[in-house]
Amino acid sequence: MKLIATKLFPFSRQPLSTLSKITIAALLSIAGSGGVIWVFSTIHNPGLLAFLLLLLLCAGLLTTSLRWMPLLGTLMGGATLFLFTRQPYVIVHLTRPKESIFFFVLILIALASAGIALGAGMNATMQNYLTRERHAPRWWWAMLSGIAGMVIGAILITVIA
């Protein structure tokens, strides 16, 4: 029998919502693509490695299903967008994808996953505090497929060019 947080059991944990699971998957996707970039690039930045380990830690903490944990996923998604767009390495590979399609694809996946983590974490946090229903909104799946279509389209245009 699963205990759901009620007035009788205020500290019992609720099962993970769909948006929390999407946030975890997005954080793991960022960490995975960033780890591949770190391994195969010529520049081994210890700051990037520390940030990737922090992403993995946050994804692990998000599985505890505490009410405020999706906010941590939101902050990590926003931090990824902020930090990755400030790095010259990322900007060079996004503006010149023909030089290395491999790094272009990985950076594009990391940035798209960061945007998904930002949105899903924010919506999951609001769901945990404002509503009893913990289902993904109807428009969420259309937005995810739109982001996937844009990423695949960008990759195909780069490969064709």
CA distances from 77 to 26, 30, 89, 95 (A): 8, 9, 19, 22
User: Which positions ≥6 away from 19 have C-beta within 8 Å?
Assistant: 70, 120, 121, 123, 124, 127, 134, 136, 140
pLDDT at 161 over 90: no
Q: Is there a contact between 20 and 130 (Cβ–Cβ < 8 Å)?
A: no
Tell me what the pLDDT averaged over the chain comes to.
86
Q: What is the pLDDT of residue 1?
A: 44
User: Model confidence over 128-159: pLDDT tens digits?
Assistant: 888 677 777 788 889 989 999 999 999 998 88
User: Which positions ≥6 away from 100 have C-beta within 8 Å?
Assistant: 93
pLDDT at 89 over 80: yes
Q: What is the mean pLDDT of residues 109-115?
A: 95
Q: pLDDT tier at 73 (50, 70, 90 boundaries)?
A: very high
Q: What is the pLDDT of residue 53?
A: 95
pTM for the whole structure: 0.85
- Lowest mean pLDDT across 8-22, 61-75, 135-149: 8-22
Distance CA(118)–CA(110), nearest Å, equals 12
